[in-house]
């Protein structure tokens, strides 16, 4: 695939929020994308970015964006952008993202609002970028039909972390029949200011509203293919060719970044693969996004640890700059077949990095026409 010859102007919505800040950190040094517009709430509009943001990243505000004037999230103000990255909260994202799509802009969203839409792809870029194929149908069903505008969503941060090794296992060993996943999710997943300190310090909160349901149905949409009927109408098959059952239990823990998940799986094939075969399949897994040459895709999607006490958030959350996932404790499960621990950086591959790689794939596949 040929990389774009000229810089691609992009806009960031929700630029002052936690995810928006991560978008800025990652995009400030991107080889293709150049930050052209920043959008936020009306109370931030009109201010320079440095004066509008409560910066919470571990690195300074990139110099290139410090003096950019923040705009309201109105599509007409972003008309020069080829790509829009949305870090908006769900309360605001629905109407805003729809308006940007209607203005013929390509929207890559981190919000939940359109994940269930039967014509919007829900993409973990290291797993199912082929689902971009439904975009022409999405465009044709809009009123009026669109030529350039569309919405692509990335998955919930907890879904993203564990579904990458699941995809590696299905690729090597065929369908998975059942999954049990217990999450220990970082407080950054709740945004800023997040969970009150008196609630999370010295504590584990065994409930995150809506999180378990998201994991259970998102997994089916992501691992399922795109089916086409006799009339050429496409739909997501929700893993229907071989039904998959998923049971999730989600917990908030006093870790800043990095979701840890304990996973048990049962395979359809008999006999199931051995732990060593599972380790080898994960190490060998090469996502399509990496093969295409996406600059933000990790060279090695999955790092498999042999140590009995890894992965750990403090040690492993920035593996591949947070774009890869770490797996450890791969062993036999006496109830299902195989169990393991996975760690993913929830604010990188679980959020902003996924949206950026999704956009890179769309550019390389000419879903976005950057030279027009």
Q: Are 4 and 371 in contact (CB under 8 A)?
A: yes
* 325 and 243 belong to one structural domain: yes
Q: Are 61 and 34 in contact (CB under 8 A)?
A: no
* 119 and 81 belong to one structural domain: yes
* 35 and 146 belong to one structural domain: yes
* 172 and 127 belong to one structural domain: no
Q: Which residues are known catalytic residues?
A: 157, 259
Q: What is the CATH number of the domain that holds 264?
A: 3.30.360.10
* 31 and 104 belong to one structural domain: yes
Pairing of strands 71-72, 33-40: parallel
pLDDT tens, residue order, the chain (372 aa): 567 878 999 999 999 998 999 999 999 999 999 999 999 999 999 999 999 999 999 899 999 999 999 999 999 999 999 999 999 999 999 999 999 999 999 999 999 999 999 999 999 999 999 999 999 999 999 999 999 999 999 999 999 999 999 999 999 999 999 999 999 999 999 988 889 999 999 999 999 999 999 999 999 999 999 988 888 899 999 998 889 999 999 999 999 999 999 999 999 999 999 999 999 999 999 999 999 999 999 999 999 999 999 999 999 999 999 999 999 999 999 999 999 999 999 999 999 999 999 999 999 999 998 776
* 171 and 271 belong to one structural domain: yes
Q: Is residue 164 part of a domain?
A: yes
* 152 and 252 belong to one structural domain: no
Euclidean distance between CA atoms 342 and 314, whole angstroms: 14
* 332 and 358 belong to one structural domain: no
Q: Is residue 133 part of a domain?
A: yes
Q: Is residue 238 part of a domain?
A: yes
* 14 and 151 belong to one structural domain: yes
HSE-CB of 279 using CA atoms within 13 angstroms: 12
Q: What does the block give as tokens for 16? A: 């002052």
* 148 and 206 belong to one structural domain: no
Number of domains in the chain: 2
Q: Are 30 and 38 in contact (CB under 8 A)?
A: no
Boundaries of domain holding 42: 8-156+352-364
* 78 and 17 belong to one structural domain: yes
* H/E stretch holding 248: strand 245-252
* 224 and 272 belong to one structural domain: yes
The model carries a pTM of 0.96
């Amino acid at each position: 695939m040929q990389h774009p010859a000229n810089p691609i102007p992009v806009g960031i919505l929700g630029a002052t929020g936690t995810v928006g800040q991560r978008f800025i950190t990652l995009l400030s040094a991107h080889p293709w994308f150049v930050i052209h517009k920043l959008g936020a709430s009306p109370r931030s509009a009109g201010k320079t970015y440095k004066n509008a943001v409560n910066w919470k990243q571990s690195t300074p505000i990139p110099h290139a964006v410090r003096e950019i004037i923040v705009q309201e999230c109105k599509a007409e103000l972003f008309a020069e952008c080829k790509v829009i990255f949305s870090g908006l909260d769900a309360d605001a994202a629905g109407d805003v993202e729809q308006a940007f799509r209607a203005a013929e802009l390509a929207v890559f969203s981190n919000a939940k609002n359109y994940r269930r839409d039967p014509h919007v792809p829900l993409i973990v870029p290291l797993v199912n970028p082929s689902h971009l194929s439904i975009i022409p149908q999405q465009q044709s069903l809009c009123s009026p039909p669109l030529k350039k505008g569309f919405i692509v969503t990335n998955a919930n941060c907890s879904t993203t972390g564990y579904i990458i090794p699941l995809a590696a296992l299905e690729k090597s060993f065929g369908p998975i029949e059942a999954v049990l996943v217990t999450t220990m999710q970082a407080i950054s997943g709740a945004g800023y200011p997040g969970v009150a300190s008196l609630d999370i310090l010295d504590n584990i909160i065994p409930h995150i509203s809506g999180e378990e349901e998201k994991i259970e149905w998102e997994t089916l949409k992501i691992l399922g293919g795109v089916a086409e009927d006799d009339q050429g109408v496409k739909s997501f098959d929700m893993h229907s060719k071989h039904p998959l059952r998923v049971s999730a239990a989600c917990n908030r823990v006093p870790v800043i970044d990095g979701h840890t998940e304990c996973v048990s799986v049962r395979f359809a094939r008999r006999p199931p693969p051995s732990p060593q075969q599972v380790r080898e399949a994960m190490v060998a897994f090469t996502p399509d996004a990496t093969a295409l040459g996406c600059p933000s895709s990790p060279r090695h999607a999955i790092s498999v640890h042999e140590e009995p006490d890894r992965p750990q958030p403090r040690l492993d959350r920035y593996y591949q700059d947070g774009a890869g996932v770490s797996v450890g404790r791969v062993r036999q499960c006496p109830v299902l077949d195989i169990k393991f621990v996975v760690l993913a950086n929830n604010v990188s591959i679980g959020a902003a990095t996924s949206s950026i790689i999704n956009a890179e794939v769309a550019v390389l596949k000419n879903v976005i026409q950057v030279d027009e």
